[in-house]
Amino acid sequence: MDIKEILDEIASESSTNQKMIILEKHKENELLKKVLYKAKSPRIKFYIKQVPEHNIILTKEEDQYTLEQILVNIEAFSNREITGNAARDYLKSLLEKTSEDNNYILQRIIEKDLKFGMGRSNINKVIPNLIEQTAYMGAKSYSEKLARKIFEEDGIGYSQVKMDGRYCNAILQEDGEVELVSRQGETTYVGNAPFLKELGLIRNMVLNSELTVDGYDRFTANGLIASIVDIEGKKSRGERTQEETEKKIASFEKKHAPYQETINKIRCTAWDCITLEEYFEKKAETPYKERLSTLKSLLLDNKSPEAMLSIVETIEVKSFKEAMEHFQNTLERELEGTILKSTTGVWKDGKPSFQVKLKLEINIDLRIIGFKYGEKGTKNEHVISTINLESSCGKLKTSPSGMKEIMMKDVTDRQEELLGTIAEIRCCGLSQNSKGDWSTLHPSVVKLRDDKNTCDSLESAKEIEEAAKTLT
């Protein structure tokens, strides 16, 4: 099969699993791997905003360039050997001197969208390490020893609000192009959100940031953004017709709020910045104090009253006690917690010990009232991946996942037996939506409690949460 036929076969399948099975059959195809890399690698840019119009389309017999030759020729764009009008003219020449199938693939590569419904993470699952993994610097879980150690070097640390929004890396190219990328390396589509214009004023940088929605709690905001990313992503990739997209938007507005108005309220809050080169190398030796100063200058230079691009709340703390006071303050404001950071910390992929999470975590027991199989087309579609739970009073309901494979299989096999029994969960506190319904933040199943037959009520869960908030 030629490359176009393989891409068409993958595109014809709606199931992610089936797409991966098809790719598995062709994963040794070196030409296919080159096409996938050039089209999906965030490191490769062609600096051509629009494919030029061209009228000549050749048959395979008339083909003057093979696909292999095309892949070599377009390196002139990514290497900046040919730019501006000369680049557009050269691309037009390539498009008019290759066959219809190669013409299509060339356009898809230049536009960085193969339109076959597979993201970077799923491609890498089939062909490991083909496309650069997204670098992510997190933080260690709370440890008093680690937290105190941060003050040993210069007696100062930074305490920053843990926002718990939708994480994204804002990749800002030298030509003003902006791409938002998730932790999994997938493009995050947010339509024409105003903050994108603000990001477009910054060049050759990557901002570590989170997306929230002004006027909404973080739990609700994450749901709104997820819906927008789905709608805008499938529209951009051509996976829905205009009529289908309009129906999705109408459904969003019926359930939530005006669609464009919600997009306009999406805020991007950054806490770190590194250069493009450092991002792709997955390390930066510049101390955090200097990176934070750079971030402030980048964002404050473009600051306006209507700005939707912000810097995370940051407090300079001089002791473990001051760090804990800021943490307690965030809990009183019903935020998740803080991240305590060293002023001298470098940037590295992973969870370094010089960044420590201070966040609320509680364990509560709830009764099992139902089960849900994994999403169709995923590896968990035939096993229970989510358990529906509620409190003894029925006022608190949640649906945690996060079970290991052995537990999912056990739950699937024993659904009837487990219905009505108790499960222990861990979460980051309680949440209440605009309708007054109570749930939990980031719940995950700890274990099935076959040793007890009573569970927490909403009131006892509140008491557990309050007690945890007062601990220092």
Work out the pLDDT band at 217, boundaries 50, 70, 90. Answer: confident
Confidence at residue 442, expressed as pLDDT on a 0 to 100 scale = 83
- The answer to whether residue 471 scores a pLDDT higher than 60 is no
Work out the pLDDT band at 470, boundaries 50, 70, 90. Answer: low
The residues, ordered by sequence, that sit 6+ positions from 220 with a Cβ below 8 Å of its Cβ are 213, 433, 434
Work out the pLDDT band at 335, boundaries 50, 70, 90. Answer: confident
Confidence at residue 472, expressed as pLDDT on a 0 to 100 scale = 47
Question: What residue has token string 């309708």?
Answer: 435
Work out the pLDDT band at 380, boundaries 50, 70, 90. Answer: confident
The residues, ordered by sequence, that sit 6+ positions from 305 with a Cβ below 8 Å of its Cβ are none
- The answer to whether residue 199 scores a pLDDT higher than 80 is yes
Q: Which residue has the higher pLDDT, 339 or 50?
A: 339
pLDDT digits (tens, 9 = 90+) for 8-54: 999 999 888 899 999 999 999 999 999 999 999 988 889 888 899 88
- The answer to whether residue 469 scores a pLDDT higher than 80 is no
List, in sequence order, the alpha helices (H) in 174-215.
Answer: 195-199
Residue among 169, 191, 123 nearest 274 (CA): 169
| Residue 266 near residue 225 (C-beta atoms within 8 A) | yes
The pair of three-digit structure tokens given for residue 369, joined into one six-digit string: 């009232």
pLDDT digits (tens, 9 = 90+) for 230-288: 999 988 877 788 999 999 999 999 999 999 999 999 999 999 999 999 999 999 999 99
- In whole angstroms, give the CA distance from residue 426 to residue 446: 6
> What b/e readout covers 74-113, taking b as 16+ CB neighbours within 10 angstroms?
bebbeeeebeeeebbebbbbbbebbbebbbbbbebbbebe
- The answer to whether residue 301 scores a pLDDT higher than 90 is no
Question: DSSP 3-state assignment of 159?
Answer: strand
Please state the rounded mean pLDDT for residues 396-408.
91
Confidence at residue 266, expressed as pLDDT on a 0 to 100 scale = 98
The Cβ of residue 145 has, within 10 Å, a number of other Cβ atoms equal to 8
Work out the pLDDT band at 302, boundaries 50, 70, 90. Answer: low
* C-alpha distance from residue 34 to each of 1, 29, 40, 92, 133 (Å): 16, 9, 10, 22, 16
Residue among 220, 232, 124 nearest 188 (CA): 232
- In whole angstroms, give the CA distance from residue 466 to residue 468: 5
- The answer to whether residue 303 scores a pLDDT higher than 80 is no
Enumerate the β-bridge partners of residue 171.
179, 206
Confidence at residue 392, expressed as pLDDT on a 0 to 100 scale = 95
pLDDT digits (tens, 9 = 90+) for 140-174: 988 889 999 999 988 999 999 998 899 999 999 88
Q: Which residue has the higher pLDDT, 289 or 47?
A: 289
Confidence at residue 448, expressed as pLDDT on a 0 to 100 scale = 92
Greatest alpha-carbon pair distance for the chain in Å reads 76
| Residue 440 near residue 431 (C-beta atoms within 8 A) | yes
- Rounded to two decimals, what is the model's pTM? 0.76
Which own/partner pairs from 45-50 qualify as long-range (CB within 8 Å, at least 24 positions apart)? 45/78, 45/173, 45/175, 45/177, 46/74, 46/77, 46/78, 46/109, 46/110, 46/112, 47/77, 47/78, 47/80, 47/83, 47/87, 47/173, 47/175, 48/77, 48/87, 48/88, 48/91, 48/110, 49/177
pLDDT digits (tens, 9 = 90+) for 403-422: 888 999 999 999 999 999 99
Residue 425, φ and ψ in degrees, nearest 5: -120, 160
Angle between helices 3-12 and 16-25 (to 10 degrees): 160
> What b/e readout covers 416-447, taking b as 16+ CB neighbours within 10 angstroms?
eebeeebbbbbbbbbbeeeeeebbbbbbebbe
Angle between helices 100-110 and 3-12 (to 10 degrees): 70
- The answer to whether residue 468 scores a pLDDT higher than 90 is no
The Cβ of residue 304 has, within 10 Å, a number of other Cβ atoms equal to 8
The pair of three-digit structure tokens given for residue 200, joined into one six-digit string: 């477009």
Q: What single DSSP character describes residue 99? A: B
- In whole angstroms, give the CA distance from residue 12 to residue 116: 8
Work out the pLDDT band at 298, boundaries 50, 70, 90. Answer: very high
Residue 208, φ and ψ in degrees, nearest 5: -80, 125
The residues, ordered by sequence, that sit 6+ positions from 232 with a Cβ below 8 Å of its Cβ are 189, 190, 191
Work out the pLDDT band at 57, boundaries 50, 70, 90. Answer: confident
Confidence at residue 255, expressed as pLDDT on a 0 to 100 scale = 93
Confidence at residue 454, expressed as pLDDT on a 0 to 100 scale = 92
Please state the rounded mean pLDDT for residues 318-339.
89
| Residue 173 near residue 276 (C-beta atoms within 8 A) | yes
